[in-house]
Amino acid sequence: MSNEIPLEDPIAQGGMKTASSLVLVNTGDGKGKSTAAFGTVLRGLALDWPVAVVQFLKSGDWNTGEEKVLRKLGVDWFAAGDGFTWNSDDLDESKALAQGAWAKAAELIGSGDYRLVVLDEISYALTWEWIETPPVVAALVERPERTSVILTGRDMKSEIIEVADTVTEMRQVKHAFERKIVAKKGIDY
């Protein structure tokens, strides 16, 4: 990282352009991928954007704080998963839920009704091959002009990273779990 203090506005120097929408990816082994996406949801809501969230792992039983508040603020929220794979009684059912979540996500993106669609923890469904990568790439590339999409999760597929406009990798430096501290409601979910 440079220690130089910027003295000129890079936008004023020319060559910049605007985009009607973007594809963003939050990936990596560190915490904060979904949290960053939900921060962007708040920005969109402040601009009166219609926003939708599709969660690929969490079910409606989780009752997360972000879901509770963002639903009240008008976000269309679809918690379509059944939780962590190690808690699943039926991985075939988990796969079917992920496929249903993708069908809903594709519908939401393609509709053009939303300025922002978040695909929370979609990388797992892609990595486990519960959903195919090419249709996701196609939906991103062919999305309506004003629909931005945020995809979250570890180990995002390279094909998704290739078509994204912005990719942020969260890197774990230290985690409470390493000290045998379980996820904390209000902090982690």
Give the tens place of pLDDT for each residue, 93-130.
Answer: 888 999 999 999 999 999 999 999 999 999 999 999 99
Q: Name 84's bridge partners.
A: none
Over residues 36-50, the mean pLDDT reads: 98
pLDDT at 111: 98
- Domain 23-179, CATH number (from 3.40.50.300, 3.10.620.30, 2.60.40.10, 3.90.550.10): 3.40.50.300
Q: Name 55's bridge partners.
A: 79, 120
pLDDT digits (tens, 9 = 90+) for 124-146: 999 999 999 999 999 999 999 99
Neighbours of 52 (CB within 10 A): 23
H helical segments located in 47-181: 65-72, 91-111, 122-127, 133-141, 158-163
